[in-house]
Each structure stands twice: as C-alpha cells, then as structure tokens.
Amino acid sequence: MIDKNAPIGVFDSGIGGLTVVREIMRQIPNEKIVYFGDTARVPYGSKSRETVTRFCRQIVRFLQAHEVKTIVAACNTASAYALDELEKEIDIPMIGVVKPGAKAAAAATRNGRLGVIATEATIGSRIYNQYIQQLNPGITILGKACPLFVPLVEEGLLQDPVTDEIARRYLAELIDSDIDTLILGCTHYPLIRSTIGRVMGEHVTLVNPAYETAMELKEMLREKEILNTEAPQLGSNQYQFYVSDTTDKFIRFANSIMKYGVLSAKQVNIEEY
C-alpha cells in the first residue's frame, strides 16, 4: 500500500521543472515534494532518446530511494522520450506533462488548428501529435522547435527586446498558419508567456502543461486515495531540492520565480544511482 504522507517526486533536466513545482504547491499545498533537477547534464532537448532515458532511469532510482509515492516527469523532453518505458519499470504511479497538455489543448481548439512549441527532441518525437490525434483525429497540429527560448529564460531575459525578436522569428510560421491554440510544450516557456501571447495575438489560447499536470496529479492522487488532506507538521521539511551541479544558480532562479523561499538545495552525484 502506498503511504499518502509520502512525498511526491518531481524531476526535470534542470531548473525549468520548477514551473511545475510551483503549480503543484498552489494546487495541492498539503503535499511534500522532493525535486531533482539534472543541472549538470541539461539540456535534454538536444540529446538522444537513449541518453535521456538513461538519465531519467537514474533519477527515478534516486527518487525511489526517497520513498516517494508518485513521480512527476516535469520535463517535456523526458516525458516524450522516457516516460512510457520507465513507468513500466516501477510500481508507483508516474505521470508526465505531455498528456495533460495535449488533453487541454484538444479541448480548447475551436478551429481544429493547434500549434506546439517545444525543444527539438519533443517536436521530433511527435508525441503531442500522437496524443492529440488519439483524442481527435480531425485536429491539425503544427510543431515548431524553439531552442533559444531556454537559454533566454535562464539568462533572465523574460521581458527583453532580444526575446521579443526571437519570438517573432520563431512564431512567424505559426501565426501564418491560422492556429487558435498553442501549447507551451517546454518547462521554460510559461515564464515568457506574456511575450509569446503578445506575438501570437489575443485570439490564440495558450495552454500551459505545467498547470494541467498539477490538476491531473491532484485527480490521480484523489482517485488512488493517496491525496494528502492534512498540512505537514512544521519543521517536516515539506519541500526538498536536489541538483546534480552546484546549487547557487538553482537557488537564485528558484527564488526569482517562486513565492516559496528556497533557502537550500543539495548537490548529489546522480551517476551513482
């Protein structure tokens, strides 16, 4: 039996998964979280399926060593490449960000024309296309890799003319193709949502898989009767953060995007797992 007081394990290739963590904190505030960010091996978005799956397998072992009750692959690339394989290998439930995002987008489109922006790996995997077309084969999906958005966000250029210019170039073909819904299919993109929204225009609905994933996680925990209904006791270390590289940049970034003050994180050698 799974212990409902156990923490939720959340992982990402680095810092971007904190956009999922903050949604989980908002939507299910009684839950404990153990977060792992693979800051030493980021980015995943330009690596092969084999490499990403190997990295994710090590992280899953690390999180299991922390006796988590469920694992959230907060990274779109990890969800695209590794989730199907890894969920078969473990006996606790595992969810990713792609399915919840795909479901929300399929429900949101009115004209049946959807865009997805993500890393090269996620776009190349066509995973969003697969899930959306399973839900509604009539929907047309246009994918566009936007690799420069990740370093722009990590450099803190959230409201900057450089980011505006790159967004205009990347998104031009999606604007021309008359989509009415756009999936922000990478952990970092919700942080430049206002720029993307401005460039795409008001008539385009932006779907944030981080938000949808936290909703689906809550639903899944409730169904399995492992949703934590009581707030954890004071001093119980509700949120723990681990990274594979030094912690300073991670802590700085975390505090720039989250209300919850991240005071410390621990560096671990993930290759040992």
Binding site for ligand DGL (CB under 6 A): 12-14, 16, 42-45, 75-77, 119, 122, 150, 186-188
Q: Is 186 in the active site? A: yes
CB nearer ligand DGL, residue 6 or residue 45: 45
The H-or-E segment that residue 169 falls in is helix 161-176
CB nearer ligand DGL, residue 6 or residue 149: 149
The catalytic residue among 24, 60, 75, 145 is 75
Shortest CB 165 distance to ligand DGL, Å: 21
- Using CB atoms, what's the residue nearest to ligand DGL? 45
- Count Cβ atoms within 10 A of the Cβ of residue 140 and give its class: 0-12 exposed, 13-18 middle, 19 or more buried: middle
Shortest CB 46 distance to ligand DGL, Å: 7
Alpha-carbon distance of 112 to 106, in angstroms, equals 8
Burial pattern 205-240, b for ≥16 Cβ within 10 A else e, equals bbbbbbbbbbebbeeebeeeebbbeeebeeeeebbe
- Count Cβ atoms within 10 A of the Cβ of residue 165 and give its class: 0-12 exposed, 13-18 middle, 19 or more buried: exposed
Shortest CB 265 distance to ligand DGL, Å: 17
CB nearer ligand DGL, residue 75 or residue 199: 75
The catalytic residue among 63, 72, 186, 200 is 186
Q: Is 56 in the active site? A: no
So which residues are the catalytic ones? 75, 186
